[in-house]
Amino acid sequence: MGTVTSTAPSPGSPDSSLLDLAPVIPVVIVHDVADAVPMARALVAGGLPAIEVTFRTPAAADAIRAIADEVPGAVVGAGTVLTPEQVETAVAAGSRFLVTPGWTDRLLGALDASGLPYLPGVSTTSEVVALLERGVEEMKFFPAEAAGGTPYLKALASPLPRARFCPTGGVNASNALGYLSLPNVGCVGGTWMLPPDALDAGDWARVESLAREAAALRR
């Protein structure tokens, strides 16, 4: 829903879909705000400008704010958004897009009112149809592997050609290309370019290298 650009200051500036910025959106869980900026710089340098910081830790909002303020070229967004209140927090922190694992009418209303591009989570055909009915054509497919993986999304492509997806959940370096080869997949979300041992060691060169490999996953 909406467009986003990696260079213009306004998140609403027309450029490209969020799904088209890069083949992979890193899904980031930040425990220490001090890690947010060097991590984001490594991801952007590796060719992954869209970065989803999940609202799974108390550091999330401050991490989004730091990345938005200090990492040129980063398109930072908030993930695991569950409530309208979190939508407001994410917007205030400088998020450029919003991602949810699922949706309700109340949450969808808040996402729409934010003015930001967003990817509401779906895992069933009925959820996809309900969003299309509301004019939402770009969605997160979650949890991708558990919900049916590439066969499920392939089956949706013909009857629901308007829907485009960012599969997340169980997507990794070995199966990402299978998702990206589908006509209704714009990008995938994952964490494999952020291995825990590299994060613990502050090995940002390794993160950049893995990000570069992920950015090369084109159709």
Out of 52, 85, 88, 154, pick the active-site residue.
52
Does the active-site annotation cover 133? no
How far is Cα 174 from Cα 155, in angstroms, rounded to an integer? 21
For the four alpha carbons of 132, 134, 138 and 144, in that order, the dihedral sign comes to negative
Q: Are 89 and 120 in contact (CB under 8 A)?
A: no
How far is Cα 188 from Cα 80, in angstroms, rounded to an integer? 15
Does the active-site annotation cover 137? no
How far is Cα 166 from Cα 185, in angstroms, rounded to an integer? 6
Q: Are 158 and 152 in contact (CB under 8 A)?
A: no
202 Ramachandran zone, left/alpha/beta (phi>0; psi -120 to 50): left
Out of 140, 145, 208, 213, pick the active-site residue.
140
Catalytic residues: 52, 140
